Amino acid sequence: MKAVGARLPRYDGVGHVTGQTQFVDDVRVREMLWAKALRSPHHHAAITRMDTSKAEAMPGVEAVITHADVPLLEYGHLSALGIPADEPLLAKDEVRYKGQPIALVAAEDADTARAGVEAIEIDYEERPTLFDVRKAFDDDAPTVHRWGNWYPHFEGEMDRRQIRKGNIEEAFEAADTIVSGVYRPAAIEHAPLETQVSMVVPEPDGRLTVYSCTQALYFSLGVMAAHLQVPLNRLKVVGGTVGGGFGGKVDTASETVTALAAMKANRPVKWRWTREEEFLASSTRAPWHMEIIDAVTSDGWILGRKMLTLHDSGAYARFSPYGLTKHSFHHTGAYTIPNLHFDGYVVFTNRVPTTAMRGFGVTSVSFATETHMSRIADVLGLDPFEVRLKNANRINDTSPNMITYPDPSTVDVVLSIAEATDHSLDDAYMSMSRAQRSGDMLPEHLAAQIGEGHEHASLHALVHGVDNDSEGN
């Protein structure tokens, strides 16, 4: 605890204010080529013909990379955890979002690379598009993904993330009131000041030195090695200086294709996205569609929750199954609801693939659940703090994914917000603590769930769910 209360300068502060911090774009090597990408101008189309010969013949163009150059075209960010892959590194016969990369041209300078991109001959046949997750399930909805319009590979080959807990029918029979709400936070572009960038340098010993803006160096290492089909020891990934990431630089966005160009040209290659490309083609936080229907009592207890979530994955799965799983585990927010019926779908659309952003999968559901708590109080004419404090997680309560909370802080947080906002509460509430439920705070419907869960969630559980997840229907 030596650092608590002490002034700690940023270790990189002086570098930042003097211009000495070296971002990827600042690394200087000799003989470097610049890369530019051919990206899909369509949201959804078949590629019916592509001819790169004119680009390849252009003076100054040193390498043109297409799907045919990729040793393993499809590899998912979660493949190592058993999630199947769906996204080609470069589009082959179909493009599913506007801005999807199709080819990369590396040339002596950026202008020549751009001219090379323009010299690629390509024909498309446009296909119908899908942008609204709510329409993905319609009979006449266009099919936007080879797996269909939603991810079908949750464990047990289920097509949704499903949670069933307690007895939802009984909860709704016992309810005094039903409170429902729909919540739809929009996509957000991370908009880092530093756009996606990487530079790959072929070394004389056959290795590649990879300078990357990645937030997730070991993801990049694994994903690159898989696509390139080289052992890990051929790759030296240099990272650590990120010009803003916020989750958007978790995806291995540029390194692998840049590496292929560097290998083909046998020269260093840099691929730095323009601001326009960053906005057009870099991943975003997902838009979500969440429907909550709660069975409540007139004195503010939540007996049960039915929830439907449509997670807009964009055109490919990437981390979305993981994000939705986390989301499902948190779908009661910081509160304990014993009877649950949750269905969540990772829905494919012709948007740019979505990814992590600050609390992946959880910020959306926090927004929905907190708004819904206030809505419940509103409908019942109760104090929103009291409704929260009643239902707040307590020691030994059990989460949706059957984890026993060892030390939840909801009560303390709600009380300190009440204090900070001068919100007066009855003594019964003011004196509440996180201690295990008893007395008035232990109504019948909450008794059975106490201490019923596992000790902790593992990463495996986060990706694959926990044992009791998929019971019922």
Among 3, 146, 231, 456, binds other proteins (CB under 8 A): 3
27: helix, strand or coil: coil
473: helix, strand or coil: coil
User: How many residues make contact with other proteins (CB under 8 A)?
Assistant: 36
For residue 190, the minimal CB distance to ligand FES (Å) is: 11
Binding partner of residue 18 among other proteins, ligand FES, none, CB under 5 to 8 Å per kind?
A: other proteins
Nearer to other proteins, 28 or 49 (CB): 28
Q: Does residue 359 come out as left (phi exceeding 0), alpha (psi in the -120 to 50 range) or beta?
A: left
Nearer to ligand FES, 11 or 407 (CB): 11
Q: Which stretch binds other proteins (CB under 8 A): 37-45, 225-233, 236-244, 376-384?
A: 236-244
For residue 192, the minimal CB distance to ligand FES (Å) is: 7
Among 148, 244, 359, 443, binds ligand FES (CB under 6 A): 244
For residue 461, the minimal CB distance to other proteins (Å) is: 33
Asked if 1 touches ligand FES (CB under 6 A), the answer is no
Residues 179-198 as x/- pattern, contact with ligand FES by CB under 6 A = --------------x-----
Q: Which residues contact 140 (CB under 8 A, 6 or more apart)?
A: none
Which amino acid is located at 51 in the chain?
Answer: D
Asked if 142 touches ligand FES (CB under 6 A), the answer is no
Asked if 3 touches ligand FES (CB under 6 A), the answer is no
Q: Are the beta carbons of 212 and 194 closer than 8 angstroms?
A: no
Residues 22-51 as x/- pattern, contact with other proteins by CB under 8 A = -x-xx-x-----------------------
DSSP code, position 249: T
Which amino acid is located at 458 in the chain?
Answer: S
Element (H, E) at 430: helix 427-430
Asked if 20 touches other proteins (CB under 8 A), the answer is yes
Nearer to ligand FES, 192 or 222 (CB): 192
b/e sequence 93-119, b meaning 16+ C-beta within 10 Å: ebbbbbbbbbbbbbbbeeebbbbbbeb
For residue 277, the minimal CB distance to other proteins (Å) is: 11
Binding partner of residue 9 among ligand FES, other proteins, none, CB under 5 to 8 Å per kind?
A: other proteins
For residue 241, the minimal CB distance to ligand FES (Å) is: 11
Among 8, 407, 426, 456, binds other proteins (CB under 8 A): 8
Nearer to ligand FES, 185 or 244 (CB): 244
b/e sequence 256-290, b meaning 16+ C-beta within 10 Å: bbbbbbbbbbebbbbbbbeeebbeebbbbbbbbbb
Query: Which whole-number Å values give the CA distances from 450 to 116, 373, 397, 409, in the listed order?
Result: 65, 22, 5, 16
Phi and psi at residue 215, to the nearest 5°: -90, -10
Applying the rule CB under 8 A, the residues between 142 and 201 that interact with other proteins are 190-195
* 284-285 sheet: strands from edge to edge: 188-189, 284-285, 354-355
Name the nearest CA neighbour of 255 among 280, 240, 238, 241: 238
For residue 23, the minimal CB distance to ligand FES (Å) is: 11
Which amino acid is located at 16 in the chain?
Answer: H
Identify the sign of the CA torsion 385, 386, 388, 393. positive
Binding partner of residue 10 among other proteins, ligand FES, none, CB under 5 to 8 Å per kind?
A: other proteins
Binding partner of residue 403 among other proteins, ligand FES, none, CB under 5 to 8 Å per kind?
A: none
Asked if 110 touches ligand FES (CB under 6 A), the answer is no
Identify the sign of the CA torsion 244, 247, 252, 257. negative
Rounded distance, CA 292 to CA 309, Å?
Answer: 9
Applying the rule CB under 8 A, the residues between 246 and 285 that interact with other proteins are 246, 272, 274-275
Binding site for ligand FES (CB under 6 A): 193, 244
Binding site for other proteins (CB under 8 A): 2-3, 6-21, 23, 25-26, 28, 190-195, 242-246, 272, 274-275
